[in-house]
Amino acid sequence: MHVSTDILTWVAVVLTVGIFSFLWKDNPFYKFCEHLFVGISLGYFISLTWYNAVYPDLFRPLFVQPLSEVSLGNKLLFIIPLLLGLCYFCRFIPRVSWLVRFPMAFVLGWGAGVTIPAVLQTSIIRQMQGTFLTPGIFARWDVFLWAIISFVGVVCSVLYFFFSREHKGALKVASETGIVFLMVGFGASFGYTVMARMSLLIGRFQFLLRDWLGLIQ
């Protein structure tokens, strides 16, 4: 056993144990660690936003770089995001708080516009391409079997999410088959993700037992 003498390791250990103490019950030690975590992360986030986004992408080209580096036309373009960003602060002034809706509308519109074609491409068209039954499935019996299972699974799962008809008769059979496929998928994903979580826990215990107590190599 070789207990660490590094002060930072001890700080990390105290905070780790503080967060773990929540497993027992809510307590002042956990509250302290929680508030410290939230405060530090928020401060870090503000700093990160300034140095990685606001300063290099807006403040520097608009106010610091000379006209020889950024043309007047481009500088004027930067005023648009500046004004949109400033609109967020209008909510602190009741008389003009409605201005906050402009950047919100812009961001929501942009979000939907960017996301919808991307989702269509990756989650629908590509998936359809992979689901089609092609002559290649006759190459081997196992390929054939999996292609059919996959095809039936996709069709039945999509039918489960059909909301315009009551799930009765054939639609009920199909949607119930679909939910079986979904649950099998969720079960697999559950096991996979739990293992990933376990590795996070193991990582934390390794820190306590190796870096702090020196009990393991």
Partner 1 sequence: MIPFLILLLAAGQTAPPETTAAVLAPPAPPVAVRAFDTPNDAGKSITLRWSAADTLARTWLIERTGPEGPKVIATSEPGETNYLDEEVKDRIRYTYRIAAVAGGDTVWSAPAAAVASTPQFFNTSRVNILIAMVIFFALVVYYIESAKKGKNLFVRRIAGLDAVEEAVGRATEMGKPIVYVPGLGSVADIATIASLNILGEVAKKVAQYDSALLVPNRDPIVYTVAREIVKESYTKAGRPDAFRQDSVFFVTSEQFAYAAAVDGLMVREKPATNFFLGMFWAESLVLAETGATTGAIQIAGTDSVFQLPFFITACDYTLIGEELYAASAYLSREPLLLGSLKGQDYGKMVILLTLVVGSALLLLSKVPALSFFSNILGFFSTR
Q: Name the residue type at position 74.
A: N
Judged by beta carbon, residue 66 or residue 132, the one nearer partner 1 is 132
Q: Cβ(86)–Cβ(73) under 8 Å?
A: no
Does 131 participate in binding partner 1 (rule CB under 8 A)?
A: yes
| Binding residue for partner 1, selected from 77, 143, 165, 176, defined by CB under 8 A | 165
CB of 8 to partner 1, least distance (A): 19
Does 206 participate in binding partner 1 (rule CB under 8 A)?
A: no
Torsion sign (Cα): 30, 34, 36, 41: positive
CB contact set of 105 (below 8 Å; sequence gap of 6+): none
Report the candidate in 147, 161, 157, 149 with the shortest Cα–Cα distance to residue 182. Answer: 157
Does 153 participate in binding partner 1 (rule CB under 8 A)?
A: no
Distance (Å, whole) CA 73 – CA 6: 54
Does 85 participate in binding partner 1 (rule CB under 8 A)?
A: no
Report the candidate in 23, 67, 1 with the shortest Cα–Cα distance to residue 212. Answer: 1
Does 162 participate in binding partner 1 (rule CB under 8 A)?
A: yes
Which residues here bind partner 1, judged by CB under 8 A?
Answer: 19, 22, 26, 30-31, 33-34, 37-38, 40-42, 44-45, 88, 91, 100-101, 104, 107-108, 110-112, 114-117, 119-121, 124-126, 128-129, 131-135, 138, 151, 154-155, 158-159, 161-167, 182, 185-187, 189-190, 192-193, 196-197, 200
